[in-house]
Homo-oligomer: A and B are copies of this chain.
């Protein structure tokens, strides 16, 4: 019985890693769709939203099932509660990548982003993809230091977000309102994507640190 249980716990962890990979790939493709005004890629990203949702539903079902059947305590209980929270954040990251793709689709065949802001948004997308990869690795290896270090990436994205604000408001040739709206929302989607990645990492810190506390309690 315990073997089945631990296989199910592993399966939850694998599903979470799978979700990080999917939302990372989705954001990468959304950025490509945005910067290359590539309609088929934008459509594919938007369709992939259903895939993320399906993964989340399957994962939550498994988690609730484990709650109900196994009545977990202590560390396992924390793992399940943490998984529920992480899957919510990861699903939201998929939504945000989808929002970027929807703006790309709305402006096709034009590009939503003026040439002087492309590098900044590309960089925001790049850091977002890296963050998704990092949290996947952290979930696999449960590496507490790495989880804490994600704040540096998040700060970089926040800085780029402020750069976008400054560029939009101080350009000698004013942008159209449409461009200002598109770019500020895209920038915010990237910024929120990074925030959610950090939120996933914080859940892991809570989980692992909690277990360390518990180990300390047992030792003491």
Contact = CB atoms under 8 A, between A and B. Distances in A.
Contact of A168 (B68, B73, B77, B181): B181
B77 A68 contact: yes
Contacts of A88: 85, 88
Contacts of A77: 64, 67-68
Most chain B Cβ neighbours within 10 Å, of A169, A174, A180: A180
Contacts of A174: 174, 176-177
- A contact residues, range: 20 to 34
A218 interface: no
A68 B73 contact: yes
Interface in A177-191: 177-178, 180-181, 184-185, 188
Contacts of A181: 165, 168-169, 180, 184
Contacts of A64: 77-78, 81
- Residue in A81, A85, A181, A184 whose Cβ sees the most chain B Cβ within 10 Å: A181
Contacts of A84: 81, 84-85
A217 to B, nearest CB: 14
A81 to B, nearest CB: 7
A178 B68 CA distance: 52
Contact of A71 (B73, B176, B184, B185): B73
A175 interface: yes
30 contacts: A64-B77, A64-B78, A64-B81, A67-B77, A67-B81, A68-B73, A68-B74, A68-B77, A71-B71, A71-B73, A81-B84, A84-B84, A84-B85, A85-B88, A88-B88, A168-B177, A168-B181, A169-B176, A169-B177, A174-B174, A174-B176, A174-B177, A175-B177, A177-B180, A180-B180, A180-B181, A180-B184, A181-B184, A184-B185, A188-B188
Listed from nearest, the 8 A-B pairs whose CB atoms lie closest are A71-B71, A180-B180, A169-B177, A177-B180, A168-B177, A169-B178, A181-B184, A67-B77
